[in-house]
Chains A and B, each alone.
Chain A
Amino acid sequence: MDIYFLPKDELTELIEILRETGKVFWTRERDLPSNLENIRTIRIEELDEEYIMDYRVPGLRAYDIFKSFLLPLNFKVAEYPDKKWIDVELNAKKTVLLGLKSCDLVAFSMLDAVFLEDPEFMDPFYKKNRESIVIVSSDCSRIGDSCFCNLLGNTPYATSGFDLNISEVSDGYLLESGSPLGEEILEELSLPGARKKGIEERDKRREKVLKDLEKQNSKFLKAFSDLSKLVSEGYYRDEGWEPGSTCVSCGACTNVCPVCYCFTLFDRFDKKGEKSKRFMVWDSCQYKGFSQMAGGMNPRFPMMERFKNRYYHKFFRFYERYGKYKCTGCGRCIDNCLGDIDMREVLASVKIGKVVK
């Protein structure tokens, strides 16, 4: 796809077109007291006219996740008894998401694998939500302390998975479309093609951020390249899990993870007690009751068994089923951990090899 140039002061025009396309949610960097870390000040929120004029796409991923737009915290999936299957109507109204980073898009592609591309059991609710969103992503222009997407083979800029991608350069933005819809939006803006100089600057900026990431994470490089051994040789051994010992099973890591999708189905009567409703609710493999059965048996009772299970799922089971690690390297689990656990340090510490019985 071609790349176009958007002068700095015309970003508002792009935003206006996005508003015509659907309801816009953007990431916005807020002015908050400086004792809060930089990432926490970038939040996803509904577009607010007050800020359109001064709006700049944040240079870093948001503190929140976009998962909720595809899999809300809880939503009704069935009402019964009913004579026929509940109809899932397609949402005509689009939702435009602005400011996603490469890691957010990688997360979407993983959720797609589970909920959309499963030939046997496609999730109609996910499909509906997925088809109603318009993705406007942007390059990272800086890195957070917890960012480690490079260790998982991802980049701090997106090359696919978006309708439109925004790259900030010194005198404006480069816009690249990744879908017919993105193309339409660009046509409406009737922009000049990007100059070679502009593209070179974009590539240089991208290179710089990637270098920063590589520098920040260099000491973990081996741990992550060893992950392929985990898959080929089987499972983790029971050694080296000490960095996880401060886990308190709060479930924050899974709730802020853009790819964790564990859920439970919860039924209840409506207020009149006539119809039953079934909800799909976020769950967490870190909760004690997650695998607990009627009668009290719990195959993963000790905290550490649940802690390990999360890593098994991300770096072994998911890989076996879908051919990729279920981690984008966004680092949100690190930012939010009450036990101050850093996934990179855990992976650097555990020993790889088949379980010896």
Chain B
Amino acid sequence: MDNIYYPRGTVVTDIKEDTPTIKTFHFELDEPLTYKAGQFMQLTVPGIGEAPFTPSSCPGEVREMEITVLQTGRVTDALHNEIKVGDRLGLRGPFGKGYPMERFAGKEILIVGGGVGLAPLRSLIYALFDRIDDFKKISICYGAKTPHDLCFRDEFDEWTKKPNTSLNLTIDNPHPDWDGTVGLVTCLLEKERIDVDIKNSYVVSCGPEVMLKFVTLKLMDVGFKANQIYLSMNRRMSCGIGKCARCNIGPYYLCKDGPDMCYEDIKDYPNVFE
């Protein structure tokens, strides 16, 4: 009988420091696995516990995987402070539904990320790049606190070289190392700035919940419908399989039905945003 709680082995092959608080861990898996963009993994630090992460690497059938981690709690503290290249960790998953890529096909895709929220979106971005002819346009809006908090900066040039792809960046406050846009990520979504065929597009957003809230309000304000907006609702999870009953919004378990939810489906339920 399969044990749904047992983590599969994986070894850390590289650790890259993206920002002072964010690291990307590169794993080699003991057994290959297949995951879709938007699905997540439960990453085990031995003796410490598990935390859910959506991989930041390209989905598909993989033997390797990247997970980008902001240092913020017990498991992520251990990841940042104790885990070295060569250490063995555990993985369960993939869990969740993943993005409705078929629904996205033929449309413009607007990606709105905040801080480490770009990590799971990077996985989606790669998935979109993989079949870029299926999408009319890919617009990426990304904001972080300071220029040094932007993840994956060394990849931005490569991204913008892709056909029909744009990348707009902003940081929260003026900074000596920054001559670009200053303001919260919502400022990139203002009517006069947003260069998207609203009727023919889907939005995918990931970031802190307070950001998701204001991004959603702004999107609705500029004319998007709730059924065009997909939000990455990453709540506390434990089992990952719709049993332990803590990650719910309305009738949905985010671990099983999400974690990316269409705003239309969840908007009428309590506790959608903190």
Contact = CB atoms under 8 A, between A and B. Distances in A.
A293 B51 CA distance: 10
Contacts of A127: 1
Interface of B: 1-7, 9, 44-51, 72-76, 88, 90, 208-209, 235-236, 238-239, 241-248, 250-251, 267-271, 274
Given A118-B241, A278-B6, 18 more contacts: A78-B6, A80-B6, A80-B44, A82-B6, A88-B3, A115-B243, A121-B242, A123-B4, A124-B2, A234-B268, A235-B250, A238-B270, A264-B246, A265-B244, A266-B49, A268-B47, A297-B209, A313-B248
A316 B49 contact: no
B10 to A, nearest CB: 10
Contact of B251 (A261, A283, A320, A357): A320
A280 B5 contact: yes
B270 A305 contact: yes
B73 A294 contact: yes
A88 B44 CA distance: 21
Given A285-B246, A317-B251, A81 B46 contact: yes
B5 A118 contact: no
B268 A263 contact: no
Given A77-B3, A85-B2, A267 B74 contact: no
Which of A80, A262, A264, A309 neighbours the largest number of chain B CB atoms within 10 Å of its CB? Answer: A80
25 contacts: A78-B6, A80-B9, A80-B44, A80-B90, A82-B6, A86-B3, A124-B1, A238-B270, A261-B243, A267-B49, A268-B47, A269-B47, A278-B7, A283-B238, A283-B246, A291-B236, A293-B236, A294-B73, A297-B209, A297-B274, A299-B209, A308-B270, A309-B248, A312-B250, A321-B251
B24 to A, nearest CB: 18
Contact of A78 (B3, B88, B251): B3
B6 A291 contact: no
A273 B47 CA distance: 8
Question: Which of B72, B76, B88, B238 has the largest count of A CB atoms less than 10 A from its CB?
Answer: B238
Interface of A: 77-78, 80-83, 85-88, 114-115, 118, 120-124, 127, 234-235, 238, 261-269, 273, 276, 278, 280, 283, 285, 290-295, 297-301, 305, 308-309, 312-313, 316-317, 320-321, 354-355, 357
B213 to A, nearest CB: 12
B9 A285 contact: no
B4 A262 contact: no
A-B complex: 6 closest residue pairs judged by Cβ atoms: A294-B73, A269-B47, A77-B5, A121-B241, A320-B251, A124-B1
A81 B9 CA distance: 7
A305 B270 CA distance: 9
A87 B1 CA distance: 7
A120 B95 CA distance: 11
A265 B72 contact: no
Chain A binding site: helix, strand, loop or mixed by DSSP?
Answer: loop
A267 B246 contact: no
Given A263-B239, A267-B44, A268-B47, A291 B246 contact: yes
Nearest to A354: B268
Contact of A291 (B235, B241, B270): B235
A77 B271 CA distance: 32
Contact of A77 (B6, B74, B247): B6
A265 B50 contact: yes
B47 A313 contact: no
A127 B4 CA distance: 12
Contacts of B209: 297, 299
A265 B268 contact: no
A77 B243 CA distance: 15
B9 A265 contact: no
Nearest to A308: B270
A85 B5 CA distance: 9
Contact of B74 (A291, A294, A298): A294
Contacts of A264: 238, 244, 246
Contacts of A305: 270-271
Contact of A124 (B4, B46, B72, B73): B4
A196 B48 CA distance: 63
Contacts of B9: 80-81, 83
B245 A313 contact: yes
Contacts of A357: 267-268
A320 B256 CA distance: 14
Contact of B243 (A86, A121, A269, A294): A121
A121 B241 CA distance: 7
